[in-house]
Every structure is written in structure tokens, then in C-alpha cells.
Amino acid sequence: MSGRPLEHDGLASDLRRQMPVVRKWAYLDHAAVCPLPSPVAAAMQQWILEASNEGDTVWVRWSRRVEQIREALSRLVNASPEEIALVANTTMGIHWVAEGYPWQPGDNVVTLQDEFPSNIYPWLNLASRGVTLRRVATRHGQLDLDRLEDACDNRTRMVTISWVGYTTGYRHDLAGVADIAHRRGALLMVDAIQGLGVLPIDVQRVPVDFLVADGHKWLLGPEGAGVLYMRREHLDRLRPLGVGWNSVVQQLQFDHVSLDLKSTAARYEGGSYNMAGFMGFGAAVEWLTQHGIDRISQRVLSVAELAIALLEEAGALVVSRWPDEHRSGIVAFELAGRDPAQVRRQCADRGVALSSRAGRLRISPHAYCGRQDLERLIAALGV
């Protein structure tokens, strides 16, 4: 695998031409915060120019664009646009589900021990309502489904899990998790931020109940714009939060006050949008999907495989060695006797962006990355 010249891949070349970040950085940190492609920056800059020169005289056009973005997001996960809510971030989407569910004292939620904090704190915050959180241990991020099932009982109302673990990149079997949750009478909430955009998902085939992701990682969008998918049958199950003028069917009739909520997930959107952010987010989603998520997925996994080979040749201990169905774009590794935080700073000084998580180093190359970026990484590591 390490002999394959990934830099000559046509898809990667097309993508790379639109990534200004490559002029300076070997950017291997998309599991943290992504750099913006040129089409995304252009869409945001266009909105700024219009807002500066036109004010809200073009607001109707912006509003139509928001609905186009909703449709693009629905196609990304194979949902209906009516099941898509636009959110400011992953935490907000999880919060809407956690706080909106009709809990009863004694209910419980099941998650993983090593979940990202955004998928822990909203559930811990339910303690005052008599809801407990059960956290299932994993082995370097790898989940034993039997242990998950053992943690569920007849008072489990929600299983909440990351599609891809942020520390080691282990991609969970969502179909298997959904089966366990539904057999127990629980719903499945998925934090998809570490996979959406570079790994294909179809919510018609994999019956998740809720799925949320921010756009500022693998989707190559700006911070402050994300998506929440909510299966249609659950729209009336949750108590809507953040209700405002934009939540009702007569949203622009400000003198007609009647709590007639929209019959779609848009009822959660409450007030004004982060227009600049969503213009960029929409451009990012459309840019990626026009290149094909399946093609992007194959490329990302190939780059990650090459990274593993090069790191192991250099003497690193790679933790993220998973079977094909559990692989992602995240590769976590250790360097014996080296402080990860110090190595990260050293790499940054040499123009290589990566992260330190859970006491390890972590890289997360996108589809536009290639051998040249990985060779810069090896050189910057000084191994």
C-alpha cells in the first residue's frame, strides 16, 4: 500500500486545487477544525458583500437558499427535507433531543465511556429529572456490542453514540447498535460529526432515530452551522425547545400570534439563521456531494491506510488498526518516550497540523491529502 502514489489520484487533485491551506500546511487535522475550500469561502464572502450592499432587501433569496441547503442535507443522508433541522452545532442538536424527550424518573440513557463531552453533558444534565446515564467501557474505542446490550434494560429510553470515536477513529456498527436499542424499546441518537461528509450513510437502511453533526470537520464547512436529522415519527414525541417566530407555520405574519408549530423538524429553528455560516455550509455539502461521497470515502480510507503503513515503518505504535467495516479517516498513534503535546507543537512549527487526544497523537487526513503530506508528517515527527 505504501508504494501507491496517492498524489496522482484525479479526485484528490481536483479537491486539492480548491484548498488554499495546502500552500502552507500539511493539514492532517480534520477531526478537529477543518480549513475552508475556496468555494465555501466564496459563498460566505458573497453573502457578506450582499449584506453590506443590499441589507435585507435580498433576504427572500437567502431564505430560498436555506431551503436548498436543507434539501442538499436531506440527500446527503437519504432523508426527507421535512426531517432536517438546521442547528448551530452538534451540542445544540443533542440538547434538543435530550431536553425534549418525555422522561420519567427512573429512566436511563446508555452511552460509551469515551464519548466526546458534547454527548455526555446533556445527558448528565438530566439527573435533576431522575434520569441516569450509563457509560459502557470500550477497548481503545472498540465497542463490544454484548456489553452495550447488557447495559440496557426496560428503563433504557435512549442509546446515544458517536458514529466514529474521536480518539481512535473506530467506526461503530450503527445497524447493530440500532438493533439492540430498538429491541430494548429505546431510541438511537447518533453523533455523526466524525464521519458525515466522508463516509456514506443512509438513514433508510440504518434505522437511526436522530443524527446530528456540525459542519466544521469532515464536511469542510465553517463553525456555527450543522444539521439534525429527526425521523418523522418522532417529531411530535419531543417537546420543541427554542420556539420562536421561525417555528410556526405563519412565520412571517408577525401580528398573527398563534402557536401553530410547523409540522417539520424546522419547528426547532426558532429564530434567525447564521446566514453567513449556512451559506458556507451549503456550498461545502454541495461541493463534496458533487464529487461523490463514495469516491471521497474510498480516498480517505486509502490515505489513512497509507498513513498507518508509513507511521509503522517509522516505528510508531498505531492504535487505529481496525477491520475494514470499522475504519475511518482518523489514525491515532504513539511515539515511545515522546510527549504528544510537545510533538504536536514541534509539528506545527514545521507546517504540519495534527492533534493530541487521550494521551496520543491523532491525524485525520481528508481526501485532498496525499503522500506528500504524510511524508512531511514523518519528517516533522523526527523519527
Q: Which of 156, 158, 154 is nearest to 94 (CA)?
A: 158
**Residue-range domain boundaries for the chain:** 6-28+292-381, 43-290
Yes or no: domain 6-28+292-381 corresponds to CATH 3.90.1150.10:
yes
Residue 4 — pLDDT band, cuts 50, 70, 90? very low
CA end-to-end span of the chain: 20
Check pLDDT > 50 for residue 125. Answer: yes
pLDDT given at position 140: 87
Residue 252's pLDDT band (cuts 50, 70, 90): confident
Please state which CATH class domain 43-290 belongs to: alpha beta
- Number of residues that this document lists for the chain: 383
Cα 72 from chain centroid (whole Å): 16
β-pair type (226-230, 84-87): antiparallel
User: Is residue 6 scored above 70 in pLDDT?
Assistant: no
74-79 — which CB contacts under 8 Å span 24+ positions?
A: 75/289, 76/196, 76/197, 76/285, 76/289, 76/293, 77/196, 77/201, 77/202, 77/203, 77/211, 77/229, 78/201, 78/202, 78/203, 78/204, 78/205, 79/203, 79/204, 79/229
The grid cell for 380 is 516533522
Q: Do domains 6-28+292-381 and 43-290 have the same CATH topology?
A: no
The structure's pTM equals 0.94
Q: Partners of 136 in the beta sheet?
A: 112
Ramachandran category for residue 18: left, alpha or beta (phi over 0 → left; psi -120 to 50 → alpha) = alpha
The mean pLDDT value for 198-209 works out to: 97
Percent share of the chain, pLDDT over 90? 95
Give the pLDDT score at 57. Answer: 96
DSSP one-letter string for 263-314: SSGGGGG-S---HHHHHHHHHHHHHHHHH-HHHHHHHHHHHHHHHHHHHHHT
Q: Residue 313's CB: how many other CB atoms inside 10 A?
A: 11
Q: Which pLDDT band, with edges at 50, 70 and 90, does 1 fall under?
A: very low
- State percent of the chain over pLDDT 70: 98
User: In whole numbers, what is the pLDDT of the chain averaged over residues?
Assistant: 95
Model pLDDT, residue 150: 97
Longest dimension (CA), the chain: 69
pLDDT of res. 355:
97
pLDDT in tens, 333-379: 999 999 999 999 999 999 999 999 999 999 999 999 999 999 999 99
Three-state secondary structure along 42-76? Answer: HHHHHHHHHHHHHHHHHHHHHHHHHHHHHHHHHHH
Task: For the chain, give percent helix, strand, coil, nearest 5.
Answer: 45, 15, 40
pLDDT at 3 over 60: no
Residue 29's φ and ψ, nearest 5 degrees, are: -135, 40
pLDDT score for 251: 86
Once rounded to an integer, what is the mean pLDDT over residues 116-126? 97
DSSP 240-264: P-S--GGGBTTTT-TT-----B-SS
Q: What is the pLDDT of residues 144-191, one digit of tens each?
A: 999 999 999 999 999 999 999 999 999 999 999 999 999 999 999 999
pLDDT per residue as tens digits for the range 44-98: 999 999 999 999 999 999 999 999 999 999 999 999 999 999 999 999 999 999 9
Q: State yes or no: pLDDT of 2 exceeds 50.
A: no
Which residue type occupies 161? I
Q: How many CB atoms lie within 10 A of CB 134?
A: 18
Look at residue 383 in the predicted model and tell me its pLDDT: 80
Of 16 and 252, the structure prediction assigns the larger pLDDT to 16
Residue 212 forms beta bridges with which residues? 191, 228
